[in-house]
A and B are shown apart, each in its own frame.
Chain A
Amino acid sequence: MSNFSNAFSSTLGKKLVMCLTGLFLSSFLIVHLTGNLQLFKNDNGLAFNQYAHFMTNFTPIKVVSYLLYSSIIIHSVWAIITTLHNRKARPHGYAIKPKDGSIWSSRNMGILGTILFVFIVVHMSNFWYQYHWGETPFVEYRTDLNTGATITKEIQASEFTEYVSYIDNGIEITKSKDLYKETQFAFQQWWLVAFYVLGMGALSFHLVHGFQSAFQTLGWNHHKYRPLVKFIGLWVFSILIPIGFAAIPLYFFLLK
């Protein structure tokens, strides 16, 4: 009777793809923000650089990250496909735009999504690309395990071969690419800070509609749990998380 190609080629199936990739991307935001909170630690980036090394080298995380990159692409491509399909469904528009009581962001997910896509491209070329293949500063941390005091020293590319962390004579030595410094350097530019804050504004509006919308698409809209979904969508995903992310460039610009 039914087959999977029917399921995914239908308008509902395309919505399902948008919904599942969207929810997956939303869940990543929690992980990403939690990790990035280490940027606020006053340790010259030791914890953050260790974390960055772990995230880029631990195999399960790498697998998930490829799922993530493909989700970004699928979510964007499917958005374009459905938008073109939806445009075709009304070739002749109205002379007077219908007043329909819908919220602004629900009608402008495409614009918000485009801003977010540009943001992701810029963000990934700023940090992800730079960290993997670009030129980064290098750093050496020497922590005296008896006193807990850490000495941070910038090292030259010639002194760095790969990430190492070992204990020598009661001193823990960590040599790492310095993504913390990179971050600090990037967010000295006011326009980049402004761009990041704007991007997080778009994220907020995208998720105020997107998060609860995904549950509607899945058919999960039980009247008991719907208020909870809306609450989480509003307070966690469109207020707390964007503010948390926006605080990072502002913190570096204003305080570092």
Chain B
Amino acid sequence: MSGNMNLTLKVWRQKNSSASGKFVTYKAPEISPDMSFLEMLDVVNEGLVKKSEDPIQFDHDCREGICGMCSLVINGEPHGPKRATTTCQLHMRSFNDGDTIVIEPFRAAAFPVVKDLAVNRSAFDRIQQAGGYVSIGTGGVPDANEIAIPKVIADEAFNSATCIGCGACVAACKNASAMLFVSAKISQYAMLPQGQPERYARAEAMVLQMDEEGFGGCTNTYACEAKCPKEIKVTNIARMNREFFNAEFIKG
């Protein structure tokens, strides 16, 4: 088919978490511009399987940009060159025929490589488990309008809640800091009535777990905000700081 692209890929290959990896160059011929980036990798993998080679391992699940499973640093940018787009929603028309594309895993001490481009992001799960929830006693269903929440606050909390926990903020940050993620997860409850009883205990527990996992600190470069596929704002980080300092110095 005309309009297809021939690409060269430089892909990070690493057998397991303890092996030292290296870049391997692959040809990706006849790639349709309408494919997603992951479909392009599927095609390359089919070729590898046919040659009885080990296919490239990469994370993916919903391929709709909502699950947070896909990752990849494409030409130095987490989730590639498009703003507010996950790798699975990135189309090959964002590239040109003849391009060389360098594909690396998310790099962070807290995100060890499992294999090739797949990294272990269970550090995020443990941060969530430390306090990123609301403990509720079950009972009768409350009336929908019993707890009035102003629209602007509900919207702001919802914006924070759109974080899919993909880890692009960590990948983009020069310090591999997880603060955009953690702050979004703290913020989504800090603004709503349901989150109040555990508000400060949550902030403290999640921040301390974040440190425990070995993420770096924030130096306010705001690279995370620029690369977040869900456009989570750094105002969340300021809110997390307020919540944490309140927890430590005033309310704790």
B192 at the interface (CB under 8 A from A): no
Are A11 and B238 touching (Cβ within 8 A)?
no
8 Å CB contact of B227 from A7, A11, A100, A223: A100
B247 at the interface (CB under 8 A from A): yes
A13 / chain B contacts, CB cutoff of 8 Å = 248
Binds A, one of B25-33, B39-47, B53-61, B102-110: B102-110
Binds B, one of A26-34, A48-56, A188-196, A214-222: A214-222
A223 / chain B contacts, CB cutoff of 8 Å = 235
B84 / chain A contacts, CB cutoff of 8 Å = none
What are 30 A-B residue pairs whose CB atoms fall within 8 Å in the complex?
A4-B248, A6-B204, A7-B245, A11-B179, A12-B240, A12-B245, A13-B248, A16-B245, A86-B177, A86-B216, A86-B217, A89-B176, A89-B215, A94-B73, A94-B104, A95-B10, A95-B102, A98-B76, A99-B76, A100-B174, A101-B223, A102-B222, A106-B220, A106-B221, A107-B174, A213-B219, A216-B237, A219-B240, A219-B243, A223-B235
What's the minimum C-beta distance from A59 to chain B, rounded to whole angstroms? 30
Binds A, one of B1-9, B134-142, B206-214: B206-214
A4 / chain B contacts, CB cutoff of 8 Å = 248-249
What's the minimum C-beta distance from A8 to chain B, rounded to whole angstroms? 9
B92 at the interface (CB under 8 A from A): no
Q: Closest A-chain residue to B113, C-beta based?
A: A92
Known contacts A16-B245, A86-B216, A98-B78; decide if A107 and B221 are in contact (CB<8 Å): yes
B161 at the interface (CB under 8 A from A): no
CA distance in complex: A223, B234 (Å): 12
A85 at the interface (CB under 8 A from B): yes
B66 at the interface (CB under 8 A from A): no
Are A90 and B239 touching (Cβ within 8 A)?
no
**What is the number of contacts between chain A and chain B, taking CB atoms within 8 Å?**
151
CA distance in complex: A73, B119 (Å): 39
Are A219 and B73 touching (Cβ within 8 A)?
no
Known contacts A12-B241, A12-B244, A213-B220; decide if A99 and B210 are in contact (CB<8 Å): no
What's the minimum C-beta distance from A7 to chain B, rounded to whole angstroms? 4
CA distance in complex: A147, B240 (Å): 64
B133 at the interface (CB under 8 A from A): no
B114 at the interface (CB under 8 A from A): no
B240 / chain A contacts, CB cutoff of 8 Å = 12, 219
CA distance in complex: A16, B238 (Å): 12
B150 at the interface (CB under 8 A from A): no
What's the minimum C-beta distance from A180 to chain B, rounded to whole angstroms? 40
A87 / chain B contacts, CB cutoff of 8 Å = 216
Are B104 and A219 touching (Cβ within 8 A)?
no
Are A96 and B76 touching (Cβ within 8 A)?
yes
Are B220 and A218 touching (Cβ within 8 A)?
no
8 Å CB contact of B222 from A86, A106, A217: A106
Are B226 and A101 touching (Cβ within 8 A)?
yes
Are B217 and A82 touching (Cβ within 8 A)?
yes
CA distance in complex: A14, B210 (Å): 14
Q: Closest A-chain residue to B102, C-beta based?
A: A96
Are B217 and A93 touching (Cβ within 8 A)?
no
B104 / chain A contacts, CB cutoff of 8 Å = 94-96
- Per the 8 Å Cβ criterion, residues 46-104 of B in contact with A are 73, 75-78, 102, 104
What's the minimum C-beta distance from B165 to chain A, rounded to whole angstroms? 18
A209 at the interface (CB under 8 A from B): yes
